[in-house]
Structure formats: structure tokens, C-alpha cells
């Protein structure tokens, strides 16, 4: 079992719709969770981080965390063609003090005009 799992997609949504991206993780002791956006050929760009159970909203983005079920999700409201990218879920390991991030493979999102 992979430590951080994401559906690779592509996830295709029409412009203006809500895109829902999901991520599950195996380390129950994980404390910090991050969503990065990566355009083709570019480096990852931090979108949001979440530490506590529940929802965290930032503009059109909402991160949701459920530690009991070991999943974290990202909702993108009013999706735009410019949101088309790969979204990487990253989880900070709960063990040790290295700050190591474990990345999922990423979900490719396509927003169609």
C-alpha cells in the first residue's frame, strides 16, 4: 500500500463546476497536510495546508481533513481553465522530527471551457 494515494485521473470538469480531489494516507500519526498545484513542466506551488479536522477555506479553495478516516480532500469552486494542472497531496510524517513530506502521485485536473 502506498503511503499517500491519489487517483491519477484525469478528472475532467466543465468551467464553473466544483472539482473535488481526494487523497488518502496510511500513517495515522500524520499531523500536517498540504495541497500543491503543479503545472506541466513547472515546480509545485503551495495552495493550502491544513492541520486540524474539518474544513479550511481560502478563496475558491477548500481543504477538508478527516483524520479518523485518514483522508484529505481539496474542493475547487467555480473551476477555471487556468486551474487545469496536476494537484499533489503531501503529508508530513508523524514520526521523527525531519519534516519529511510524503507526496502522492498527483491528480490531473482538466477544466473544459
Partner 1 sequence: DAMVIQNPRYQVTQFGKPVTLSCSQTLNHNVMYWYQQKSSQAPKLLFHYYDKDFNNEADTPDNFQSRRPNTSFCFLDIRSPGLGDAAMYLCATSRDRATDTQYFGPGTRLTVL
The two beta strands, 85-92 and 107-112, are antiparallel
Closest separation in Å from C-beta 16 to partner 1: 28
Closest separation in Å from C-beta 47 to partner 1: 11
Q: What is the DSSP letter of 64?
A: E
Closest separation in Å from C-beta 78 to partner 1: 25
80/76 Cα distance (integer angstroms): 9
Q: Where does this chain bind partner 1 (CB under 8 A)?
A: 4, 8, 32, 34, 36, 41-46, 49, 88, 92, 97-101, 103-106
Could you give the 3-state DSSP secondary structure of residue 98? coil
Q: Considering beta carbons, is residue 49 or 61 the nearer one to partner 1?
A: 49
Label residue 83 left, alpha or beta by phi (over 0 means left) and psi (-120 to 50 means alpha).
alpha
Q: Considering beta carbons, is residue 36 or 64 the nearer one to partner 1?
A: 36
Amino acid at each position: 500500500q502506498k503511503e499517500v494515494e491519489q487517483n491519477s485521473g484525469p478528472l475532467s470538469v466543465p468551467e464553473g463546476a466544483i472539482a473535488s480531489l481526494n487523497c488518502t494516507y496510511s500513517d495515522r500519526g500524520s499531523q500536517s497536510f498540504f495541497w500543491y498545484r503543479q503545472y506541466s513542466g513547472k515546480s509545485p506551488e503551495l495552495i493550502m495546508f491544513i492541520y486540524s479536522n474539518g474544513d479550511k477555506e481560502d478563496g475558491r479553495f477548500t481543504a477538508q481533513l478527516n483524520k479518523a478516516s485518514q483522508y484529505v480532500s481539496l474542493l475547487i469552486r467555480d473551476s477555471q481553465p487556468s486551474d487545469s494542472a496536476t494537484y499533489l497531496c503531501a503529508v508530513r510524517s508523524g514520526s521523527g522530527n525531519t519534516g519529511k513530506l510524503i507526496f502522492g502521485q498527483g491528480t490531473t485536473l482538466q477544466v473544459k471551457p
